[in-house]
A and B are shown apart, each in its own frame.
Chain A
């Protein structure tokens, strides 16, 4: 009876649902054939399922653990969903980077909760801080937990599979009216860090706030980012990975690929489409299509790293 009423009221809904299911099932079957891996096991698509050569690592960002406002009352829950996705990847990535705003208010409990969930991925995680990770009174929690062995406020570099990774901090000592800030000390360190590196070395730079100017009216850019990019000019392959703006954006300029990742907590509006860059409340059913993780694959010989963004759903 109620079934009948339902069909009478919204004749299109169930039919569309059925079609959606068919599409999904079809895709799953297709990928099982092409990739040899069922979609339900895969993080993303055939590109990843087809056993990548070289180095694969993941990027997660802006988990804002502790955030509980209407845009997502359970940011820890969606972080866990993201980590579950990571755990299900058929080919284990080499490591993960987290591009900042691990916590929402830098509370010890927030960092504890984040660690408890993220560690379930059983991957090495290389962090850089967001401005939300330096809010504790003594500004010590981030450094104690993630910044050991790093320079200054937490910058460092490391090598993996012939790729040079550089984690930068552009969220401290911000100037009134300005954007993100690297500062003279960090820039000098960067110049020194790159000295003597062969220009054929692929470089991956990661930092919280976009290093290029996305939208200065909302502070989405880095005041002295261009100086950092100057040092990277001579290199054949440079990939810049950022967070902060809670949406995917990509730009290619010469040999430099810029990319921002989704948040695992809440989406933010596209530049200029809202009165402010604050958390964007969307329909519950849409939230997970706007949150997610990124997977980055580097194949030796390829100029550009392949970046695949995967929403938590859809």
Chain B
């Protein structure tokens, strides 16, 4: 058991070293469908700014007792998200995607896609 664990740790270390050598892009390319999350708490998107690679799926989840939306003009628009509802969008092109809640427009955020 122990030796297996150690061996896999070793393999991981080597993989990590290779990734480091080849740069971050290689590490992302290995994961075909990266995903990441944005939470909505207290009328705030967190993190407010997020950098992801092309192909990443971002999922927003509303934890407030009040509905919110996630809207990026001309790019994407969620349905109304009631408490604990989620919305996902896959970013297939690089760029800065500013978005906001169309019900509470002081709530803003940005996804930077590289």
Contacts and interface: CB of A to CB of B under 8 A. Distances in A.
A279 B83 CA distance: 13
A313 to B, nearest CB: 23
Contacts of A4: none
A28 interface: no
B108 to A, nearest CB: 5
A219 interface: yes
B42 A278 contact: yes
Given A71-B65, A105-B80, A174 B42 contact: no
Contacts of B42: 275-276, 278
A236 interface: no
Interface stretch (A14-22, A175-183, A249-257): A175-183
A147 B27 CA distance: 55
A110 interface: no
B35 interface: no
A176 B80 contact: no
Contacts of A105: 67, 80, 82
Interface stretch (A85-93, A131-139, A285-293): A131-139
Contacts of B79: 137
A177 B100 contact: yes
Nearest to A71: B65
A105 B71 CA distance: 17
B103 A176 contact: no
Contact of B108 (A70, A71, A177): A177
Given A132-B67, A278-B43, A279-B65, A174 B105 contact: yes
Nearest to A70: B65
Nearest to A130: B103
B43 A277 contact: yes
Interface in B25-83: 42-44, 64-67, 71, 73, 79-80, 82-83
Contacts of A217: 106
A219 B106 contact: yes
Interface residues of A, number: 25
A70 B66 CA distance: 12
A177 B101 CA distance: 9
Nearest to B98: A176
B83 A69 contact: yes
Contact of B106 (A104, A135, A216): A216
A24 interface: no
A135 B66 CA distance: 12
B17 to A, nearest CB: 43
Interface in A99-144: 104-106, 131-132, 135, 137
A217 B108 CA distance: 12
B11 interface: no
Contacts of B105: 174-179, 219
Contacts of A189: none
Contacts of A179: 105-106
B19 interface: no
B102 interface: yes
A294 B105 CA distance: 28
Closest 5 pairs between A and B when the two form their complex, measured CB to CB = A276-B42, A176-B100, A219-B106, A69-B65, A276-B43
27 contacts: A69-B65, A69-B83, A70-B65, A71-B65, A105-B80, A106-B80, A132-B67, A135-B67, A135-B80, A135-B103, A174-B102, A176-B98, A176-B99, A177-B100, A177-B108, A178-B105, A178-B106, A216-B106, A217-B106, A218-B106, A219-B104, A276-B43, A276-B44, A277-B43, A278-B42, A278-B64, A278-B66
